[in-house]
């Protein structure tokens, strides 16, 4: 994921014009400066410079100077089960891709599908979240924006992920267990309340909300589209996709009005 700096374009411009003007001057000299030949020279110049320009471009395409890696970031959605993380993270990811960012999506469902033996005990969840944090940090290091959505109920493992990442943006999808249960199409809250699911955050296991999330959204009175819009607003990931800067967030807090 590269963009080209203005300095690169400037040097390339000077380089091209130097060669092109030398070519024109030599052509004019060769034709001894008769005006009737201006059209001929012009035509010849077009052909000559087309070829010259092309090889000039090829040479520059191999030069790394002035091509920079885009600064990436890790957008980490945390919140109770059925707080809307996956839906909102999908929307945000799609929008970042539309803006031309190189972005990867990491979701709890996909990873647990791939590694079905991952359990739900605090230790297993912690280990899982820390490994995902490591994965996210490796992608970020290589210039890939990561949109991750995991319940990630424990502060310790979220902070482990934060320490590994250069630009970690925690998004707290703040909801109540009651509101999540109402949103929960799979009936997990009901099963957890009946004691059929052990270690269920918000029911039979703790959920430790982030103390200082970069982005906080009280989601219960908002539609998913509105939450996604608020997150993107807080991120400000560049007006044009190709030049998006990593967000320079202090502590943007979005409270419902």
Positions annotated as catalytic residues are 152
Q: Which stretch binds a copy of itself (CB under 8 A): 15-23, 179-187, 231-239, 247-255?
A: 15-23
Cβ pair 180, 202 in contact under 8 A? yes
Residue 127 makes contact with a copy of itself by CB under 8 A: yes
Which one of residues 104, 107, 174, 214 is an interface residue with a copy of itself (CB under 8 A)?
104
Instruction: Kindly tell me the number of DSSP H helices and DSSP E strands found in the chain.
Output: 9, 7
Minimum distance, C-beta of residue 229 to a copy of itself, in the bound complex (Å): 25
DSSP of 86-104, one letter per residue?
A: HHHHHHHHHHHHHTT--EE
Residue 71 makes contact with a copy of itself by CB under 8 A: no
Q: Which is nearer to a copy of itself, 32 or 257 (CB)?
A: 32
Number of residues that bind a copy of itself (CB under 8 A): 52
Helix (H) or strand (E) holding 47: helix 38-61
Of 38-57, binders to a copy of itself (CB under 8 A) are 38, 42, 46, 49-50, 53-54, 57
Residue 204 makes contact with a copy of itself by CB under 8 A: no
Q: Of 220, 206, 231, 213, which Cα lies nearest the Cα of 175? A: 220
Long-range contact set of residues 200-206: C-beta below 8 Å, sequence gap at least 24: 200/81, 200/120, 201/80, 201/81, 201/151, 201/153, 202/80, 202/81, 202/177, 203/177, 205/122, 205/153, 206/153, 206/154
Binding-site ranges for a copy of itself (CB under 8 A)? 1-4, 6, 9-10, 12-14, 16-17, 20-21, 24-25, 28, 33-35, 38, 42, 46, 49-50, 53-54, 57-58, 61-62, 64, 100, 102, 104, 111, 114-115, 117, 127, 130-131, 134-135, 138-139, 141-142, 144, 240, 242-243
């Amino acid at each position: 994921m590269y963009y080209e700096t203005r300095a690169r374009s400037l040097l390339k411009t000077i380089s091209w014009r130097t060669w092109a003007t030398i070519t024109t001057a030599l052509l004019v000299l060769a034709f001894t400066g008769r005006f009737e030949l201006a059209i001929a020279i012009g035509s010849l110049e077009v052909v000559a410079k087309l070829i010259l320009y092309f090889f000039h471009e090829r040479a520059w395409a191999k030069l790394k100077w002035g091509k920079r890696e885009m600064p990436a970031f890790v957008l980490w959605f945390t919140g109770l089960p059925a707080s809307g993380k996956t839906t909102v993270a999908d929307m945000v990811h799609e929008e970042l891709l539309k803006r031309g960012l190189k972005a990867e999506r990491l979701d709890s469902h996909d990873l647990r599908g791939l590694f079905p033996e991952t359990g739900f005990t605090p230790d297993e969840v912690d280990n899982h979240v820390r490994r995902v944090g490591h994965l996210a940090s490796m992608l970020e290091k290589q210039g890939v924006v990561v949109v991750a959505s995991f319940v990630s109920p424990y502060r310790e493992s979220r902070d482990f992920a934060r320490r590994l990442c250069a630009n970690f943006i925690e998004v707290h999808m703040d909801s109540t267990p009651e509101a999540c249960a109402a949103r929960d199409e799979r009936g997990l809250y009901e099963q957890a309340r009946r004691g059929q699911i052990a270690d269920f955050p918000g029911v039979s296991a703790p959920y430790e909300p982030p103390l200082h999330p970069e982005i906080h959204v009280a989601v219960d009175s908002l539609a998913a589209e509105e939450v996604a819009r608020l997150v993107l607003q807080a991120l400000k990931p560049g007006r044009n996709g190709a030049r998006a800067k990593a967000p320079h967030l202090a502590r943007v807090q979005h409270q419902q009005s």
